[in-house]
Every structure is written in C-alpha cells, then in structure tokens.
Structure 1
C-alpha cells in the first residue's frame, strides 16, 4: 500500500479515530440522534479521505483539481469577500454594543463591545500587514 497524499491520510485517520471514539462513548453513555449522525459522518469522511490518499488516480485528480487556476481564483475571491463581510459585521456589532452599553451605562455590554473592538483592530492590522507582505513579494 503506497501513500499518495499524506495530508489526506492524516485527515482520514484522525476522522476515523474521532468516529471510533464517538462510537465507543456512545456504547458507554448511550446514543442520541446527534451523536449517531456525527459518528456516521466522521467514519464516512475518514474512510473517504483514507481511500483518496492510497488511490493513485484519485489523489492525482484531487491534486490537479486543487491547483486549478479557476478553483484557486474562486477560493481567493470567496475568502477575501468573506473576510470583508466579517470585518463589516464586526464593526457594526462593535458600534451597536458600545452605543447600547454607553446609553444604559452597562459595563458588561460595553465589555462585549470592547471585545468586538479588539477583534476589529486585529482584523484591520491583519489586512494592512498582509497587503504590505504581498506588495513586496509579488
């Protein structure tokens, strides 16, 4: 058995182990609908990833699909758009919690707003530093 994609092999083994662990805990503590569905999904995902990692044709096809220009462009565009949407939502939530907290003089609500403000500032610095990095390296 030759391994053609080590990353998928690791993901497959980890998913299989998580599924088996969930199955073992299910037998010990009892099953509910959510744990049964999750266990089945983890086992299927793990088996699929494991199969892809040891099958030469499938691993080659996945590799080509992953590095296809169109797929890379779609991934980069969607990731960029998701980051900008998350940044805008974070800014709106920050303003909302800070204004509501100041109006009602509630320090807890203002603390939540400050958490969003910290998160927003991390997003801004990440955006700025990644722009500088890619301007230098491209």
Structure 2
C-alpha cells in the first residue's frame, strides 16, 4: 500500500474506533438513569427515609455513570477528530498522542494505538505530512 492509502485506512479506523468509544461510553447512561430515578423516588419503597443510605448509593451511581459517559464521549470525539486530522495530513503529533492514549483501551483502542504509533513514525508518512524526518 502507498503511504496515502495507509493514512486513509488509518483515518477510517479512527472514525470507527471513535464511534465505538462513544457507543460504549453511552452504556453509563443506564447507571445515570437508575440513579436519578431512585433519587426522584420513582421506585416505591416504604422503608426508605429521605436521607437513607440508598439515596447516597443512588447519587454515587449517577455520578459514576456520568463520569463514564463523559469520558467515553470525550475519547470518542477526540479519536474521531484525530482521524479527521490524519485525513487532512495535519497535527501528526496530536494523532500520536491520541494513539498513545488509545493503547490503554483493550482491544480496539490498543490495536489502533499501536498501528497509529508505528505508521506515523515512518519517514514516508512524515514526508506525507510535509515535515522532514528527524536526523538519526
């Protein structure tokens, strides 16, 4: 494959994995929904007091779910943005950083991150970005 084709495949892969990050991050909305429903009293429970431990657990449930959603969506958006920048041959260092972050997320993020780091380190790809390779 030519360097242009490799970068196009890498950009599409960023779009797909970014979408998966956002999708899987959305599963936290289930926790948020249940936590908020318990806090609003939508589940009847005669023994519940206004400040019972289940209220604290419901709040924690909703907060942790919100953090999961925010992290998933943020990572998804950043990964998609990295794919867009790869397609436009801009911000190679940004894409390297996003690839390194993705390495921590098994299995798709790790695969994408490794291929991103390897591909964006090649001299032919660096020249494709209009940069000159670093001297040895």
With normalisation by structure 1, the TM-score equals: 0.34
The higher-RCO structure (CA 8 Å, 6+ apart) is 2
Query: Which has a greater percent of helix?
Result: 1
TM-score (norm 2): 0.35
